[in-house]
Structure 1
Amino acid sequence: MKLIDLSRTITHKMQRLVNHPTIEVYPFSTHDEKRVVDGYEFSSATMVLHMGDHGGTHVDAPVHFDARPGAKTIDEMPLETFFTEAVCLDLTHVPDQTDITIAHLEAAEKAAGVEIRKGDTVLLYTGFYARAAGTEGYITDFPGLTKESATWLGAKGITAFTVESVSPGRPGRNNFEVHHVCRDMGFTHYEGVVNLDKVVGKGRFRFIALPLKIAGGTGSPVRACAILEG
C-alpha cells in the first residue's frame, strides 16, 4: 500500500479567493521561551492558525451552496462521504480559461480505461496547479466545469469530484451553476487538490480526505490522500 499526499501545504498568506479570510500561520510560543515548574525546566512550541473553512485544500459542505432548510453542515456529513473509491481523469490537454465539456470527460474516461461508478470520487487532473500556483492567474485562469459537464458527473452517481483550482467552474456564472448542480444532485467537491500527476493512469484506487469537525461549518480544510495498492 502506498499513500499519495494530494493536499497543499498551509502557509502564511497563501493564495485564496479574495472573498475568503486571509490565511495566517505564525508562532504563538517557541522553544526560546523557557518555563520552570516544580524546579523542572522545559519549553514548548505552538502555532496560531487563522483561516476560513474554505482555505487550502478543502471540501464544501452542502450548506455552503444550499440555502434550503436541512442542508448539512460539515459536522453533519457522513464520514463515508470522505473515504471512497476513486478514479483520476487526465484533462491536461484542456487549455486554461476553457470550459471542461462533456466530450472532454467522456474522452478522458475512455482513455483512462476505467468506468466512473456510483459512489466514486472523480479526480480531475488539469496540471493547472503546477502551471499557475503563485501567479495572479491561479485565481482566474483555470479550466473549469460547466453546468452540463457537472450534471454528466452527477448522473454517474458520484459522491464528489476534485479540482486543482480555487473553484470548480470558471469564474462567474459557470461557477455558481456548478455549485447548484452539486446542490440539486446531492454530491460535493474538493478544491485545491494537488499532486494528481502521481495518481493519473493508476486505474481505480481509494481516496480519503477527512474534514475537521467544525460545528456549523460550511466546509473544511482536509488532508487528502490517495491509497494505491501494491
Structure 2
Amino acid sequence: MKLIDLSRELHHKAQRLPNHPTIEVYPFSTHDEKRVVDGYEFSSATMVLHMGDHGGTHVDAPVHFDETPGALTIDQMPLETFFTEALCLDLTHVPDKTDITIAHLEAAEKAAGVSIKPKDTVLLYTGFYKRAAGTEGYITDFPGLTKESATWLGAKGITAFAVESVSPGRPGRNNFEVHHVCRDMGFTHYEGVINMDKVVGKGRFRFLAMPLKIRGGTGSPVRAVAILED
C-alpha cells in the first residue's frame, strides 16, 4: 500500500479566495519560554491557526451552496462521503481560462481506461496548481467545469469530484451554477487538491479526506490522501 499526499500546505497568508478569511499561522508559545512547575523546568511550543472553513485543501458541505432548511453541515455529513473509490482524469490538455466540457470528460475517461462508477470521487487533473500557485492568476485563470459538465458527472452517481483550483467552475456564473448542480444532484466537491500527477494513470484507488468536526460548518479543511495498492 502506498499513500500519496494530495493536500496543500497551510501556512501564514496562504492563497485563498478574497471573499474568505485570511489564513493566519503563527507561534503562540515557543521553547524559548521556560516554565517551572514544582521545581521542574520545561517548555512547550504551540501555534495559532486562524482561517475560514474553506481554506487550503477543503471540502464543501451542502449548506454552503444550499439554502434549503435542513441542508447538511459538515459535522452532519456521513463519514462514508470522505472515504471512497476514486480515479483521476487527465485534463492537462485543457487550456487555462477555458471551460471543461462534457467532451473533455468523456475523452479523459476513455483515455484513463477505467470507468466512473457510482459513489466514486473523481479527481480532475489539469496541472494548473504547478503552473500558477503563488501567482495572481491562481485565483482566476484556471480551467473549470460548467453546469453541463458538472451535470454529466452527477449523472454518474458520484459522491464527489476534486479540483486543483480555488473553485470548481470558472469565476462568475459558471461557478455558482456548478455549486447548484452539486446541490440539486446530491454530491459535493473538494477544492485545492494537488499532486494529482502522482495518481493520474494509476487506474482505480481509494481516496480519503476527513474533515474537521466543525459544528454547523459550511465546509472544512481536509488532509486528502490517495491510497494505492502496490
Give the TM-score of the pair, scaled to structure 1. 1.00
Q: Superposition pairs for residues 15-164 of structure 1, below 5 Å? A: 15-164=15-164
The answer as to 2:167 corresponding to 1:167 is yes
**Whole-angstrom distance in 2 between the partners of 1:45 and 1:141:** 39
Instruction: Name the amino acid aligned to 1:159.
Output: T
Percent sequence identity is 90
**Whole-angstrom distance in 2 between the partners of 1:94 and 1:44:** 48
Match of 1:220 in 2: 220
The Cα offsets for residues 107-146 of structure 1, whole Å up to 9 and x where unpaired, read as: 0000000000000000000000000000000000000000
Alpha-carbon shift at residue 99 of structure 1 (Å): 0.1
Match of 2:211 in 1: 211
**Whole-angstrom distance in 1 between the partners of 2:86 and 2:79:** 16
**Whole-angstrom distance in 2 between the partners of 1:2 and 1:204:** 13
The answer as to 2:221 corresponding to 1:182 is no
**Whole-angstrom distance in 1 between the partners of 2:73 and 2:36:** 43
Q: Secondary structure at the match of 2:124?
A: strand
Instruction: Name the amino acid aligned to 2:168.
Output: P
Give the TM-score of the pair, scaled to structure 2. 1.00
**Whole-angstrom distance in 1 between the partners of 2:9 and 2:162:** 17
Q: Secondary structure at the match of 1:36?
A: strand
Q: Secondary structure at the match of 1:122?
A: strand
* 5+ residue gaps, structure 1: none
Instruction: Name the amino acid aligned to 1:164.
Output: E
**Whole-angstrom distance in 2 between the partners of 1:27 and 1:21:** 19
Aligned residue pairs total: 230
Instruction: Name the amino acid aligned to 2:123.
Output: L
Give the root-mean-square deviation of aligned CA atoms. Answer: 0.2
**Whole-angstrom distance in 2 between the partners of 1:24 and 1:69:** 32
